[in-house]
Amino acid sequence: MSDILDDFKGQWDAAKKDSAKQTVSAKDLVAAAQQKIRSAVLMHVGNTAVLVVTLIGICLFFVYVAPLQETLSHIGMTLMIGGLVLRILIEFHSIYRSTKIDLSDTAFAVNKSYMSFYTYRKKIHGSVTIGILIAYTVGFYILLPEFGNYFTQAQVILLALSYLVAAAIFGYSIKIAIRKEVKLLKSLIDMQQEIADGEG
């Protein structure tokens, strides 16, 4: 090694000697890794559980509270339940894809995998989720006329209005998630350009 790096090399080797010794045992690190895997699984299960509980709640509602009979209502129920089932399946697929990123691959390959994953997430949080939300909303409003057989008019109006509030909150959370993922994607693209800069 020549030139400027010679000076740095001396300092680097000296700094290496001063470098800290292990403060945590291998056994504790393995325990932390196992805990981390458990936490990640719990987080994913938690997110999906919210959707599954909603799905079960809606199904129970249609069976015990408002057993709707009309064909139009069946279409509405299918749109709502189908949308939720699709979202749950996508969530599982997303979890599966995230576990496929191999941090022991080259930096270029890992960055590329993250880019692909977050492009997919952006699509899910964007067009796919918005599509599902629209289908769910259409499904819900199709049910309203037959809801009149089970609830008072005031209750139906309250249901319709409260849905709007819930949809607005959900829509806002989608917007935040997309913004976050776009930012992350941009940072990944910048990094990829830095890594690949000069490659033919």
Partner 1 sequence: MSNNNVLFERLYAEFYPMVHHICVGFMKGNGELAEDLAQETFINTWRSLDKFKGASSYKTWIYRITMNTCLKYIRDNKIKDQVALDQNSKVLSQDSSHQDHGDAHQELYQAIGQLNEIDRLIIMMVLDELEYKEIADVVGISESNLRVKIHRIKKSLKEMLKK
Amino acid occupying residue 31 = A
Report in angstroms how near the CB of residue 5 gets to partner 1 at its nearest: 7
Tell me whether residue 44 or residue 180 sits nearer to partner 1 (CB atom): 180
Report in angstroms how near the CB of residue 147 gets to partner 1 at its nearest: 43
What is the Cα–Cα distance from 62 to 147, expressed in whole angstroms?
11
> Which of 49, 60, 72, 107: binder of partner 1 (CB under 8 A)?
107
Which stretch, 16-24, 51-59, 86-94, 156-164, contacts partner 1 (CB under 8 A)? 16-24
CA angle 145, 151, 154 (to 5 degrees): 90
**CB contact set of 26 (below 8 Å; sequence gap of 6+):** none
Which stretch, 34-42, 43-51, 67-75, 144-152, contacts partner 1 (CB under 8 A)? 34-42
How many binding residues for partner 1 (CB under 8 A)? 53
Which stretch, 64-72, 106-114, 119-127, 136-144, contacts partner 1 (CB under 8 A)? 106-114
Residue (of 169, 162, 171, 127) closest to 141 by Cα position: 162
Give the x/- contact pattern for partner 1 in 160-199, rule: CB under 8 A: --------------------x--xx--xx--x--xxxxxx
Amino acid occupying residue 177 = A
Structure tokens at 118: 């977050």
What element of type H or E holds 103? none
What is the Cα–Cα distance from 84 to 50, expressed in whole angstroms?
11
**CB contact set of 114 (below 8 Å; sequence gap of 6+):** 101, 188
- Residues contributing to the site for partner 1 (CB under 8 A): 1, 3-5, 8-9, 11-12, 14-16, 18-24, 26-30, 32-33, 35-37, 39, 102-111, 114, 180, 183-184, 187-188, 191, 194-200
